[in-house]
Amino acid sequence: MKSEPNRNYSEVTEFVLLGFITPPKVQILLFLVFLLIYMVTVVGNISMIIVIKVDSRLHMPMYFFLRNLSYLDLCYSTVIAPKTLANFLSKGKKISYNGCAAQFFFFALFVTTEGFLLAVMAFDRFSAICSPLLYPVHMSQKVCAQLVTGSYICGGINSMVQTGFTFSLRFCGENRLDHFFCDVPALIKISCADTSVNEVVLFILSAVIIITTTTVIVVSYAYILSTVLKIPSTHGRGKTFSTCGSHIAVVSLFYGAVFFMYAQPGAISSPESNKIVAVLYTLVIPMLNPLIYSLRNRDVQEAMKRILLHRK
């Protein structure tokens, strides 16, 4: 819907999140499924944060980054899930204009930061495996803090630019978002202004972020693979590369979903597909990340056992 010259319009002060258009019984079922996912997400990520904080054996760069990953997963799922759950039980499904802007700002902040943090975690594995003697220098406490801070700064810049461009658009009465949260593609679709610049900005920013971070990840793992293949023992190769397995799984899920959602020129025109993929990276991935790391990481498993046995 695009505006015509001199056309009268009323500014939108709130949006309606259409979400999943299904019969009432299905809405209740979806509410229960989403509630279960969110509860597992909260318990899993808080448990990971506490375990890494409490157990001194996990006070290493790898687990420092993992703790921050759990914090980000907890934050951006919390930005989306409570409002989505409330809307399943609400007839109005409304969100204020400012509330919508705030939801998108924090969602973009945490998701973008996570993308950069995953690249930092790949660099950490590269340093540990390819330069083990220099690893304490490359990944000192100060450097780790700077890398996490830099990830947040990059996330903040992207979030401010995206929020500024998106909410400078004109919305002329049509306020129904065909989504379950405030996201750029859905907002662009109902704007009555020319959105070509916004679509280009969305595509370019997403592409730059994905290309930059995936390049770091791919190059890091190329060097890791080269180093691992030089290890004569099969057991040694498996043990060394096993420390990267969880990270590879998380990266594949996260970047696959984000690329499908934002880095395709046609992403804005397929709302139903967007909703399904959005559920994956806003709710399912934050739930899976602590499960992946706890199930595949012996150090985390042993730390959990020590904490549980100590309490007994």
Q: Which amino acid belongs to residue 308?
A: L
Q: Is residue 176 part of a domain?
A: yes
- Identify the pLDDT of residue 71: 95
Q: Is residue 6 part of a domain?
A: no
Cα distance between residue 283 and residue 42, in whole Å: 11
Q: Is residue 1 part of a domain?
A: no
Give per-10-residue mean pLDDT for the chain (312 aa): 49 86 87 95 93 88 93 94 91 90 95 95 92 89 95 96 91 85 88 86 87 94 87 71 78 81 57 79 90 77 77 56
Q: 3-state SS string over 235-301?
A: HHHHHHHHHHHHHHHHHHHHHHHHHHHHCCCCHHHCHHHHHHHHHHHHHHHHHHHHHHHHHHCHHHH
* Among 99, 67, 66, residue whose Cα is nearest residue 80: 99
Cα distance between residue 226 and residue 35, in whole Å: 44
The total number of structural domains that make up the chain = 1
- Identify the pLDDT of residue 312: 53
- Identify the pLDDT of residue 124: 93
Q: Is residue 34 part of a domain?
A: yes
For 200, the domain range is 14-309
- Identify the pLDDT of residue 3: 46
Q: Is residue 18 part of a domain?
A: yes
- Which structure tokens are listed for 157? 């810049």
Q: Is residue 39 part of a domain?
A: yes
Q: Is residue 202 part of a domain?
A: yes
CATH number at residue 297: 1.20.1070.10
Q: Is residue 5 part of a domain?
A: no
Outline where 194-233 has alpha helix (H). 196-229
SS3 of residue 17 by DSSP = strand
- Which structure tokens are listed for 57? 């054996």
